[in-house]
Amino acid sequence: MDGFVQTHVVARISFALILLCAGSDASSRNQSAPQQTARLPEFEVATVKASDLNSGGDIGVLTYPGGRVHAGFCTLKMLVGEAFDMKLFLIQGGPKWMDEDRFHIDAIPPDSSATRKLNPSDPVRPMSPEQRQMLQALLIDRFALKYHFETRRGRVYWLVKSGTKTNLARTTQPTLEPRVAVFVTSDGVGQGEMVATNASMPFIASRLSETLDFPVIDKTGIEGAFDFDIPPPDAANSEITDATIAGLKILGLRLKPVQGLIQVMVVDSASQPTPN
């Protein structure tokens, strides 16, 4: 569900934990951090059930007034990504069903929590830090989630100016939710139009990371938010990666490969959820 594919999917934005390095030595590689043991805030009431794949509805995590959280048709990996605010390609390990089985979750925070007072203007707004912690606690409790973090050296990409004139128009819709998308058909080929609304460079980099499945960091030095609508390079044959790279070129941007330290989350074990 990652990426720019425009479907009836709730697009979620999260920021990968990337630690860029310059000249770090081997002792800084493959460091491991254990699962935290501090007590996390918890939902007051939460139901977890297997998704009915014959029913309709959005895929993703939605937030509602009063701090209510609804997750629909989510794999455990998707839920972990939401709870820990991590890109899915940075989550490794775990049982096979973690990428296959889908679940519905409805959860309400306690009246005493700050989250109970939330009143999001749009259900697709990201969860608050407290809601993420509550979801972490739920996954640890109901799915017996066990994990640790590792810092590994690998390739990351900087989003930089290409050296040609930038082709960016300041947004005319600053009150709208940021959005970046590349339109393709359901099989991933064809169309290739690239659009954005009220999108900053860090936001664009984050969406690139989700789409291309590797870390992308904004190094453009460009401030502000932008709108654009880039026509497809080849409407009949555009592939999402090619269309994205072509769109960046038109905008006067490119991706520069560099070496960096990447923090990944390793799922040691997980179990099917306990009954409600």
Give the pLDDT confidence score for residue 14 in this predicted structure.
32
**Rounded Cα gap, residues 22 and 29, in angstroms:** 13
Confidence of residue 177 (pLDDT cuts 50, 70, 90): confident
Using 50, 70 and 90 to split pLDDT, how confident is the model at 231? confident
**pTM for this one?**
0.76
Lowest-pLDDT range, 159-163, 212-216, 235-239? 235-239
Range 186-203 average pLDDT: 81
Reply yes or no on whether the pLDDT at 209 is more than 70: yes
Decide which of 218 and 58 is more confident: 218
Q: Which two structure tokens, joined as six digits, stand for 214? A: 């590797």
Report yes or no: 257 and 215 within 8 Å, Cβ to Cβ.
no
- Give percent of the chain with pLDDT exceeding 70: 83
Give pLDDT, residue 41.
96
pLDDT digits (tens, 9 = 90+) for 257-267: 999 999 999 99
Residues 50-68 have a mean pLDDT of 90
Kindly state the average pLDDT of the residues 173-190: 77
Higher confidence at residue 16 or residue 41?
41
**Domain segments of the chain as ranges:** 29-151+265-269, 154-261
Q: Per-residue pLDDT tens for 74-103?
A: 999 999 999 999 999 999 999 999 999 999
Distance CA 110, CA 82 (A): 20
- Please give the Cα distance from 218 to 210 (Å, whole number): 14
Cα 35 → chain centroid? 21
- The per-residue pLDDT for range 140-152, each reduced to its tens digit, is 999 999 999 999 9
pLDDT single digits (tens) 6-30 = 322 333 333 333 333 333 333 344 5
